[in-house]
Chains A and B, each alone.
Chain A
Amino acid sequence: MRNLIKCFAVVSVLLLGGCTKDFEEINIDPTSVSDLSSDALFTQVTLATSGGEYEAWRNNLIYNTQFVQQFASLSWEQGDKYLYNEGYNSALWDAYYGNCIKGLTNLIAKTADVPDDVNYRSAARVLKAFAFLRLTDSYGDVPYFEAGKGFTDGIYYPVYDEQQAILTDLIKELSEAGSAFDASKPFKGDVTSYAGNIDLWKKAANSLMLRVAMRMSKKDPGAAEAAASKAVAGGVISSYDESFRVLQLPGAFVNPNSNVLGYFNGGRLELSNNSFKFSETFIELLRSSNDPRLKILSVVRTGDTGSANPGTEDDTEASQKGLPSGSINGSTDDIATYSQLRSAFADADDANILISHGQTLLLMAEAAERGWISGDGEQLFRDGVAASIKQLSLYNPPAGLVDAAAADAFGASVAYGSSTDDKMKAINTQYYIVSLLDGYEAHANWRRSGYPVVTPVNYAGNYSGGEVPRRFQYPASEDGLNKANKDAAVSRLGGPDNWNSRVWWDQ
């Protein structure tokens, strides 16, 4: 019996005493930390804003660039023929909210009371404004004020905000962020071309404010004018190499934009596979105005398919031939004879230009013509065209291809027109060309301005009734997960939740 008692004692001590010993320490993950410095987080959110292959390929290249007939394809026919694919339609939403908005919202929240982190906070607010403009341009009313706050505020089902309220807040954010930058405070981890230069960041904030302002030109000219003049007065991007861009490196962080067309690991290899072509609309637009960019951008590729070696890239203007949007196999010549993007513009380490000098000057030209800012509209236009060509050198194309003098000459000679309509057409047509590879922007400005005029394709089974789509549909995932808020947004849309209804600024 004594043995029995001893045994009980041993067992009890062994177990009861040790039941929860060290349990709290054991449950701390040794592979992660409870906090990270703001610069390390800032690097990641910048890359997330620049984007990833997932949405760059789907929303941007397959849809946006093909909707506006910059590109066309026989293999990825969803875009130029307006065919619906849920994954393509929703890629930007999923990628941005799940990564960039999450990271930006968190960084902005956690630096709110840290005076030394004011530059990370301000830059994050600029990036957040950039990202939300893309989202609201693409889908319309979207979760904004409550977005990305799943952890910080426990909001799992954010309300969709009206686009007008979003744009108004973006202007406020850009204004506050721009003036909050402080040169005396640290600013590391900046992987944009600005490398921590606060003056340039302020210019980017103002240039973006100008972009937001001009979106409202039709729907709320008063607000547009106020914001545009404020932006320009604050100072905007003023040379082509000040264009706001995110650096890229080959390797783990490769290809966060349209360069996914190129031939490298993780790329889509569309150029070497001979499948992603310039649209006839785009090629003929360049050709008709003797634009030097026809030679710079467009080539006919010969050589092996599926190989890193681009073979011969024939850039003779006469050889260039765009694929008519909406083409189907059998109605075309040999697919290899159609023009493609020169591979130098889709290298793994090509920069991703978020806001360019050319775009900014062209928006200023329009603002000036509308009388919203002072300045000579025509001169801004001509400088804008020249800058648009010069900024192509940021992609490191073959030496001598981009010639500054030729750019200036073309800028000086390109037709402008005398009527307001002609001027608007000239400005926005140029905006369309300079926004090549940023399909989000090309599509948005095309919707706003209507230029250049593109002839829609009415392909059997298309999703937009033979019209160029005006927005993306809300992702199907929101149906199951955030239906009430989504439905409220749809009720404000002025039409069904499809590709034809127009976002607020487009109405």
Chain B
Amino acid sequence: MRQLLLTFLGILFAHAMALAQTRQLTGVVKDAGSGEPVLATIKIQGTSTGTVTDFDGNFAMKVSNTPLVLEVSSTGYKATEVNVDEKMTNIVINLEVSSVEISEVVVTALGIRKEKKALGYAITEVSGEDLTQARTNNVMNNLVGKVAGLNVVSTATGAGGSSRVVLRGNTSLSGGNQPLYVVDGIPIDNSNRGSAGEWGGRDAGDGIQMLNPDEIESISVLKGGAAAALYGSRASNGVILVTTKRGKQSKGLGIEINSNFTTESVMDLTEWQYEYGHGVDGQKPADQATAASINLNSWGAKMDGSSVPQFDGVSRPYSAQKNNVKDFYQTGTNLNNSITFNGGSDKFRYNVMASDLNNQSVIPGSTLHRNNFAANVGMTPTTKLSVNFSGRYILEKVKNRPRLSDSPGNANFTIGILPTSLNQQTFKDSKLNANGGENVFNGNPYVTNPYWAIEDFQQEDSRKRFIGNMEARYNFTDWLYLRGRLGADQYTRSNFEVTPTGTAYAPGGQINDQSKNQFNERNAEVILGVNKMTQSNFGIDMFVGGNAMKQVEETNGYGGDNFFVPGFYNINNLQNKWTNYDYNEKRINSMFGSAEFSYNRMLYVTVTGRNDWYSTLSPDNWSLFYPSASASFIISEATQMPDFVSFLKLRGGWSKLGGDRDPYGLTLNYGLGSNTFNGLPVGSIATNTIPNKNLKPYQMVSSEIGLDARLFHNQVGLDLTFYTRTTTDDIISSQISQTSGYGSVLINIGEVSNKGVELLLNLTPFKSKSFTWDLSYNMGYNKNEVVTISDQLETSRIANARSLTAFVDHIVGKPFGQVMGYDYKRNASGELLLKDGLPQRGELLSYGTGVSPLTLGLNNDFRFGNFNFSFLIDGRFGGHMYSGTNDFGTYRGKTERTLEGREGGIVVDGIDETTGEKNTTNVSAQSYNQSIGLNISSEFIYKSDFIKLRQIIFGYTLPSTLFGEKGIRGASISLVGRNLLILKKYVPNIDPESTYNSGNGQGLEWFGAPPVRTFGVNLNLRF
């Protein structure tokens, strides 16, 4: 094949030479060490003729038929002169890295590689290597603590859950706040396919989690507007660009095998009271019927080891069971193997990989299995044409995603609230009643036996996904090119969820959902570009282009209840059935352009513009233009700097972006119920949100300035950014009084401001031949303020806790998403006003934002010979959370605070509201705590701050001398651990990161899965 291609090319060139007195000189510029292509400037000595290489390092230019000398230069490399004799038409130029100068080529918007120094905005690139050793099954979780200004929150659900990623603060009050994900130039869907709310549910994962870290070459985080402006409205919350591995010319076979095995174990953070057992009013349950009909209260008698009847009729010792959490959850395992074939030549290169991931969660019966197949194939059939294909096929199957938040079917809830006089094993042993159904064990059938929840409830979903990208680039001349791309992201998600027959609250059983969801997004993009360096050191790099996007989503589903034949979970076995059909389509067409002007490689100015047209808005509003401008000035090139300054750059950027909305929001529609009533159709208004035909896209103006400095021969690196982002005309789904008939209305009125600072500091405190210590510290602080909610509203509710006594509200003048709770009723001097000796509920107050404004990460990396050791510590500060686990635990008498006054009661310090005198009424601990629990929620709002030892890697790279010339090229082994320790937190019993969904309403916790600590080993072999 290669031979054939060369012959073909030979003929082509011979033909070209015969025609001209000049000749076509083509070549490639590479890094002498790594063989990676280099962006370089090539000039013919003594002339003004020159060119620059493309992103693959290739160049082509017409030269005279005489010997000549090329001057090749590139930032970060030593300037080189190359002699070319009169006959040469093809040349490979290797550049040596220069020790002081920095050259980093990063992937920017639309996949265009640029030198980092040319950028007028902050960009953070995370290398694929940082994602593979101590890996997480959702690759985004691995960015925690690594990128300044990036806030990742992951759902407390085990493997396969979604993550909330926010860059530089939340910008939209009720819209999406997560960035756009782009894989090899193709926007991919990241929707959360199901989440838990205050009434429970399962987190069904998101889109980005399906990627395998092994296939990732790098992740570029485009945080600011100027960086992302070329993506238009979809990028208003930033862009995360994933670049997958491409083939390279390599020695050896080009095979890489990576195997990663970890175990997962729950971190039991509970500190319950172990003195009083199951019961109410200080009494042990007297008999089986009582034990089975009272709720899971820990208001019983002092545990004395006496024999007390339990719900199953067996009497057991009334004594503390301290290992319920440890015994109920199992040790999970995670095994991930991958194999990669990588190789190529000048004309053809490939990277093909396959991986297999098997996860057994700490929650018994909950598993994740994923296979990723990816291929990236590039061809350069002629010097003018290059073609690249990148495709991946992913199969994911998840079983029994745990239910979260509210109690039905949620094992975490029951284990969480279980009185400590009961042993979780009893629920396994006495799970079934005489009919084979769920044995009733408490007065509320909606609280489910944890073993019934994990063994009998069934849920399974699978996704088959294809993400593909075809790209062709044609270089008309050495300065003009055309690039076309076609991209597709499509998947089919099947879901099957059953409430088994015999479930206490649904005895007939249910198929909750049996559905098929098909998602399909296509993008077609063309750009025409000019890249020219003129004789007087002025450079120009510009392009114009267009993109057409079409997104279609279709869901077919059905369900029903009451199975005729118990345990046979088939749609035909249902007495009542319902159906569901959903269809959504939207399109965005765009035109865009970008121009970068440079002078002498020290000053760069870039302007971009994009116009988007949206199908989801009315004709008056469906077109919007998004401009941006940015500049970079490399001071260290322009003037003589002190010796210790290796590199100094100032940058600044400005942009205007915006965002659209979901389809079909312009008119009031009616829908029909899936079932008829006695043969009659049942029709109603299809929405709880009042539509608005005058909606327009919201607008976001952002600006940033920054500084990039390298000092003391690169031993110190400092990157500092200040930014502001202001959203206006935000489309608000504003909650309104339910008495209007509707829960919310869509209006274009919100205004949100974000101001922040990001700092990245890299230090090499010690460096010698055998020992290096690298330290990297990043910090992001974002000050958010909700400026306007609507003309009538000062607050807007975005989430309720299950107790309905704690909320997340936006409040004008305060940061996004305030955690709200009820205070005690107090008099003017702050004393509690009591009634019958008990505290009363007072005002609803805000206790601070649920979004931590300050994030820190500190990574230390030590290399000693072939050993390396690194650890990552990260923290979040300034946020707040309401803990339902602690609230409900107090109501039920399980928290330690409920021990006070168990014997002899409590005289609460306060004023009797009726008499105005100091309170003297003695109340029981139960009455006291039940007047606080699920009522005075401010007691259960905590700082969500934490510091965690997030990750440890201890690695050993086998010396290459161990292996001969052939065979193994490299091998390394690492011991890895994640989420090892919580060094600091304020909230008792739970993980301060615990949240049951990845929506906007952050800061509410209610019986999620416990946090998991992982340990494992990563083995990497290269042939």
Contact = CB atoms under 8 A, between A and B. Distances in A.
16 contacts: A3-B476, A7-B482, A20-B622, A29-B663, A33-B670, A41-B683, A156-B745, A247-B678, A252-B674, A266-B561, A273-B445, A273-B504, A305-B292, A329-B290, A465-B835, A480-B797
Interface string A269-298: 100011100000000000000000000000
B681 A253 contact: no
Given A142-B739, A465-B835, A27 B578 contact: no
Given A74-B294, A306-B445, A479-B844, A143 B739 contact: yes
A44 B673 contact: yes
Contacts of A449: none
A157 B736 contact: yes
Contacts of B587: 23, 26
B672 A328 contact: no
Contact of B280 (A83, A328, A465): A328
Nearest to B446: A268
Interface stretch (A11-19, A314-322, A375-383): A11-19
Given A23-B587, A265-B562, A308-B507, A158 B290 contact: no
Contacts of B548: 14-15, 18
Contact of B581 (A31, A41, A73, A155): A31
A252 to B, nearest CB: 4
Interface in B695-753: 735-743, 745
A103 B684 contact: yes
Given A34-B670, A265-B510, A43 B680 contact: yes
Interface size class of A (residues with CB under 8 A): 35 or more
Given A74-B294, A477-B797, A14 B526 contact: yes
Contact of B684 (A8, A11, A44, A97): A44
Interface stretch (B334-342, B430-438, B648-656): B430-438
B445 A103 contact: no
B740 A4 contact: no
A480 B845 CA distance: 10
Contacts of A147: 739-741
Contacts of B803: 86
Contacts of B622: 20, 23
A143 B507 contact: no
Given A44-B684, A329-B290, A336-B289, A15 B283 contact: no
Contacts of A273: 293, 440, 443, 445, 504
Contacts of B506: 265-266
B669 A156 contact: no
A371 interface: no
Contacts of A247: 678
Given A98-B743, A191-B678, A75 B583 contact: no
A329 B283 contact: yes
Contact of B433 (A150, A304, A477): A304
Nearest to B921: A460
B322 to A, nearest CB: 26
A404 B992 CA distance: 65
Contacts of A44: 673, 682-684
Interface in B568-608: 575-576, 578, 581-583, 585-587, 589-591
Given A32-B671, A476-B844, 18 more contacts: A11-B528, A14-B526, A20-B613, A23-B622, A29-B583, A32-B686, A35-B670, A40-B682, A43-B680, A103-B685, A151-B690, A249-B678, A252-B578, A252-B675, A329-B286, A330-B286, A461-B928, A465-B835
Nearest to A268: B445
Contacts of B437: 306-307
B831 interface: no
A268 B447 CA distance: 12
Residue of A44, A148, A263 with most partner-chain B CB within 10 A = A44
Contacts of B923: 460-461
Interface string A211-228: 000000000000000000
Interface of A: 3-4, 7-8, 10-11, 14-16, 18-20, 22-24, 26-37, 39-41, 43-45, 47-48, 73-76, 83-87, 90, 93-94, 97-99, 101-103, 105-106, 142-143, 147-151, 155-158, 188-189, 191, 247, 249-253, 263-266, 268-269, 273-275, 304-309, 328-330, 334-336, 460-462, 465, 475-482, 485
A279 to B, nearest CB: 16
Contact of A158 (B664, B677, B740): B740
Residue of B443, B673, B680, B683 with most partner-chain A CB within 10 A = B683
B673 A157 contact: no
Contacts of B283: 329-330
A130 to B, nearest CB: 17
B930 interface: yes
Interface string B772-812: 00000000000000000000110101000001110101000
Tell me if A's interface is mostly helix, strand, loop or mixed.
Answer: loop
A297 to B, nearest CB: 21
Contacts of B504: 269, 273, 306
Q: Which 3 A-B pairs have the closest CB atoms?
A: A75-B443, A102-B741, A150-B740
B935 interface: yes
Nearest to A15: B546
Contact of A101 (B295, B616, B741): B741
B480 interface: yes
Given A98-B741, A191-B677, A306 B433 contact: yes
Contacts of B376: none
B852 interface: no
Contacts of A74: 290, 293-294, 443
B1011 interface: no
Contacts of B613: 19-20, 23
Contacts of A263: 507
B380 interface: no
B518 interface: no
Contacts of A336: 289
Contacts of A191: 677-678, 680
A461 to B, nearest CB: 4
A15 B583 contact: no
Given A252-B674, A268-B445, A460 B619 contact: no
Nearest to B797: A480
Given A98-B688, A151-B742, A40 B677 contact: no
B844 A480 contact: yes
Nearest to A94: B738
Contacts of A87: 804
A27 B739 contact: no
B853 interface: no
Given A32-B669, A461-B838, A253 B739 contact: no
A329 B615 contact: no
A142 B807 CA distance: 24
Contact of A476 (B279, B745, B804): B804
A477 B923 CA distance: 30
B664 A477 contact: no
Given A265-B508, A336-B289, A307 B737 contact: no
Contacts of A157: 736-737, 740, 792
A40 B737 contact: no
A314 B449 CA distance: 30
Contact of B281 (A24, A30, A265, A330): A330
B440 A156 contact: no
A307 B678 CA distance: 28
Nearest to B547: A15
B333 interface: no
B505 interface: yes
A462 B685 CA distance: 40
Residue of B614, B622, B684 with most partner-chain A CB within 10 A = B684
Interface string B360-385: 00000000000000000000000000
Interface in B473-509: 476, 480, 482, 504-509
A477 B619 contact: no
Contact of B526 (A11, A47, A308): A11
B528 A8 contact: yes
